[in-house]
Amino acid sequence: MRKTWVSILALTAVVLSGCAAFTTRADDAGVPDDEEFLVDELPEAAPAFAAHFTDPIYDDPATEFAPFGSDEGWDLLHEWDERRDELTPQTTVADLIKGSGFADLVSEAGFEFSDDIPEPGGLEDAATIVVGAGFTLLRLTGQIDAEGRRETLRALDLLIERYDAPPELVRERDDLQSWAG
- Label residue 5 exposed, middle or buried (CB < 10 Å: 0-12, 13-18, 19+): exposed
Distance CA 156, CA 131 (A): 7
Interval 111-127 mean pLDDT: 60
DSSP classification of residue 59: G
Across the chain, mean pLDDT equals 79
State yes or no: pLDDT of 159 exceeds 70.
Answer: yes
Q: Is the dihedral of CA 138, 140, 94, 38 positive or negative?
A: negative
pLDDT at 32: 43
Question: Which carries the bigger pLDDT value, residue 115 or residue 58?
Answer: 58
Question: Which carries the bigger pLDDT value, residue 65 or residue 122?
Answer: 65
Residues in CB range of 91: below 8 A, 6 or more apart? 137, 141, 145
User: Which value, in Å, is the radius of gyration of the alpha carbons in the chain?
Assistant: 23
**pLDDT confidence bin for 102, thresholds 50/70/90:** confident
Mean pLDDT: which of 95-104, 121-130, 161-170 is highest?
161-170
State yes or no: pLDDT of 72 exceeds 70.
Answer: yes
Q: Would residue 156 be called left, alpha or beta, if left means φ above 0 and alpha means ψ between -120 and 50 degrees?
A: alpha
